[in-house]
Structure 1
Amino acid sequence: MALDHAELAHGLFRILETGDPVLAADVVAGDNHNREAAVAPPACAVPGPAGTLASGAWLRSAFSDLRLPVLGMARNDHQVWVRLRLQGRHTGPFVRFRDGRLDQAVPPTGREIDFEQVHLLDIREGKVVRHEALRDDITMLGQLGVFPPAPATALRVLAWRVSGRAARAAAEVTKLAADAADALTHGARSATK
């Protein structure tokens, strides 16, 4: 039985929260495109469920107790608009990328994040085929003390870059995202043996 639009939307954000590969295969089309992967590790741009699993691993590596509660939803025959909050505690490095390379690594601050986003999901044949978001990243960076830069946070970010910790964090989160994307393939191989 195919999932309805609301179930697909809730399922997509549950995948990001949990990393559930079975749910990813049920909800995300093999050719799904995530426009928001532009600032994430390269594995997050892989089409299909693998990229979605990588995106969730990237977010969970930075924010423990990641939650994406849905506040509202609207839909037509082929799209769903979802208003939600992104919540969690910043307990791991939050690494942002540009063109697949390290752009910024924010060392863990222990701070809570809680900000609103709107997501647009294109649906085809009972699966999510495209994901776009309007995110309030400025509010999130403000909650982390990065924008405008709090002096202590700015010094920690600079120290991480100079010491090489930022590059190591980028390499670790890149591997973590790639492993999450690869887990779907390995899980499928294990199930067929």
Structure 2
Amino acid sequence: MAMDHEELAAALFRILETGDPGLAAQVVGPDNHNREAAVAPVACATPGPAGTLASGAWLRSAFSGLRFPVLGVARNEHQVWIRLRMQGRHTGPFVRFRDGALDQAVPPTGRDIDFEQVHLLDIRDGRVVRHEAVRDDLTMLGQLGVFPPTPALAARMVAWKVSGRAARAADRVSTLAAEAAGLASGHRAAAHRRA
């Protein structure tokens, strides 16, 4: 049975929470473009369901109990705006990328995150074909102790970078994202390069 626009929007975030490939194939169009993949592993920019599955693997590797409670939805004939919260516990390294390379690795803090996002989804032929977002990333980074940096976390981040743990974490999360996308297991982002 076909989903309406609101159901498609909610299902997109269930894919991020669960990594369900069957749901991804049903909800995400083969030419879907995720404009928000710029700070994610390279595999997250893969068009279609594969990129969505990669994005979910990347987020779940950093945040256990990942969930996206919906606060509101608006729509027109071809678009959905969905306001939600991103929630979870920071139990794995949160690795951010720039141009496919390691930009920042935040070691696990055990802290909870809970912040708002608004996503714009384009719908065509009953599937999501484009995704953009306005996220409150500063609040999330503040909740993790990154911005402004707590002295303890800043010291851990420097130690991770100097010891190579940050690069290894970037390589690991890039591999997880590529595997979730169904790309060759040897595919890895150039995450080990330092920006």
Match of 1:145 in 2: 145
Report the CA distance between 1:2 and its aligned residue: 1.9
Structure 2 partner of 1:190? none
Tell me the TM-score normalized by structure 1: 0.94
Provide structure 2 residue ranges, at least 5 long, that are not aligned to the other structure. 184-195
- Indicate the residue corresponding to 1:188 in structure 2: none
Question: What is the aligned partner in structure 1 of residue 24 from structure 2?
Answer: 24
- Where structure 1 has 5 or more consecutive residues not aligned to the other structure, the ranges are 184-193
Query: Equivalences for 1:169-188 in 2 at 5 Å?
Result: 169-182=169-182
The structure with the largest helix share of the pair is 1
- Equivalents in 2 of 1:74, 1:64: separation in Å? 29
Secondary structure of the 1:182 match is: coil
The alignment partner of 2:44 has SS state of helix
- Counterparts of 1:46 and 1:2, CA distance in 2: 25
Cα distance in 2 for partners of 1:138, 1:5 equals: 29
Query: Which one-letter code corresponds to 2:32 in the other structure?
Result: N
Kindly provide the CA deviation profile for residues 110-164 of structure 1, in whole angstroms up to 9, marking residues without a partner as x.
Answer: 0000000000000001000000000000000000000000000100011000000
SS where residue 138 of structure 2 aligns?
helix
Identity of aligned residues (%): 81
- Number of corresponding residues: 183
Consecutive aligned runs of 4 or more in structure 1 exceeding 4 Å deviation: none
Matched, 1:46 2:66: no
Q: Give a deviation string over 1:84-113, Cα, whole Å, max 9, x none.
A: 000000000000000000000000000000
**Are 2:94 and 1:98 equivalent residues in the alignment?**
no
Deviation at 1:3, TM superposition (A): 1.1
Query: Is residue 77 of structure 2 the alignment partner of residue 61 of structure 1?
Result: no
